[in-house]
Chains A and B, each alone.
Chain A
Amino acid sequence: MSSEIPRIQRVISILWPSFLTSGLATILFFTLFDPVHLLAGTALAELSRLGAYSIGFFCFWGLTILTSGLTCYFSQPCDDNRRRTRGRQDDSLGSAL
């Protein structure tokens, strides 16, 4: 997990696996629960099913992006970080995000 990995690969490795798992989560979740029943009586009762699916998907995706991003962030070599703060602080993961 260091500078050998092209930036595009890092960005993709956060966005893409999270996209896949959130898709899976969306399918499982909405197979079990019908949004019309879930939202009945709430402020979102007017929301169409398609809308609920979409919002659900993006909520899942946001969450999984956060997870993937944190995993990437924590998998940076720790020593490297210390050295970097003294030397140069360019291309740590932060800039890739």
Chain B
Amino acid sequence: MNQTASTPNDREVENALYQKRKKIYPREVHGLFAPRCVLGVFVLLGLYYVIPWVSYEGHQAVLFDLPARKFHIFGLVFWPQDFFYLAMLLVIAALSLFFFTALAGRLWCGYACPQTVWTEAFLWMERKIEGDRPRQMKLDKAPMSLRKFRIKATKHAVWLAFAGWTGFTFVGFFTPIRELGVSLANLSLGPWETFWIIFYSFATYGNAGWLREQVCIYMCPYARFQSAMFDKDTLIISYDEARGEPRGSRKRSDDRAEKGLGDCIDCTLCVQVCPTGIDIRNGLQYQCIGCAACIDACNDVMDKMDYPRGLIRYTTQNRLEGKPVHVLRPRTLVYGLILLALLGGLVYAIATRVPVDLNIHP
């Protein structure tokens, strides 16, 4: 990507770079990690859509009541002067991210990041409506027809409905959701509530339906600075080059030693399942969100070939190089200790704060 300026076919290269990105059609995977991922999606989405409806002692349990300038979290009430706690909470969240990243790599991205979770949900709807990967590709290549139009329109309608519900829920975290629901039903929503519901719905629709992996590549700050938190003992998803190379196709009955081949049969399934469209066999790349889809796909292939599993697997750089692995090491210990201290501090601060504010509670 860096020979643009002086090459003779300068213009061509540039044009190629300006081409619309190639759409990625992730293939569906089944395996060891896929169910865990689905579970993550269910739990997180479930929490998001259900929490605003939970009541606690007669009011909404979790409500960041912006119009009234106070935050309710179950029995606790926070006022603007309690901003300190929020700041501390953010520091703790950032530090836990460091801690878990140093330990286990991009766990966050693959299982917990809202971008992944909503994209998974949107992909699932797409799959239900358009069919699996080959069907989706065929449909996109086909000329516009009544059938294609119907399928595409259904998909976008379902996406938009889901996004709309997401936007409504989002605003429901900041203004009482039951009242919001009532005014929605009466078509008497305030202008700003309406605006933010629409804004958030379109953000969801755009990010999870259209942008997808581009959010991770261009917008995510975490993807860029993760390398600072990684070391040789961090759990990463990696292709075992020593075992896999030289790659090459073969029949199941072929003896790979005889043919001088490694374990990788070059079926490219690992590339086809990848939501960010990279080839993990080229080594660790910052686009890899650690979703483990390629592990599942490759394990399947290995099973079919009667080869041992784990050509692509969770491992650490040290282990790949045959060196000992340290889970407890200065980096994780320091992160862990600071984290514990801050958490303890926050809990203490909130616990000793409560009696004062309970008096003000209306």
Contact = CB atoms under 8 A, between A and B. Distances in A.
Contacts of A9: 218
Interface in B174-190: 175, 190
Nearest to B191: A51
A85 interface: no
Interface stretch (B1-9, B115-123, B276-284): B1-9
Contact of A4 (B4, B66, B190, B214): B4
Contacts of B18: 6-7, 91
A32 B17 CA distance: 46
B324 interface: no
Contacts of B69: 34, 49
A50 B4 CA distance: 49
B219 A3 contact: no
Contacts, number: 49
Contacts of A2: 4-5
Contact of B80 (A3, A12, A34, A51): A34
A12 B218 contact: yes
B21 A8 contact: yes
A31 interface: yes
Interface in A1-18: 2-4, 6-9, 12-13, 16
Contacts of A32: 80
B195 interface: yes
Contacts of B191: 51
Nearest to B2: A4
Contacts of B149: none
Given A2-B5, A16-B219, A54 B192 contact: yes
Contact of B14 (A3, A13, A49, A51): A3
B214 A8 contact: yes
Contact of B67 (A8, A16, A50): A50
Nearest to B83: A31
A69 B267 CA distance: 44
B1 A8 contact: no
Contacts of B80: 31-32, 34
B193 interface: yes
A48 interface: yes
Contacts of B214: 8, 12
Contacts of B219: 12, 16
B196 interface: yes
Given A2-B5, A8-B21, A50-B175, 10 more contacts: A3-B14, A6-B18, A9-B218, A34-B80, A48-B190, A48-B192, A49-B69, A50-B193, A53-B66, A54-B195
Interface of B: 1-2, 4-5, 14, 17-18, 21, 66-67, 69, 80, 83, 175, 190-193, 195-196, 214, 218-219
13 contacts: A2-B5, A6-B17, A8-B214, A8-B218, A16-B218, A31-B80, A48-B192, A49-B67, A49-B69, A50-B67, A51-B192, A53-B66, A91-B18
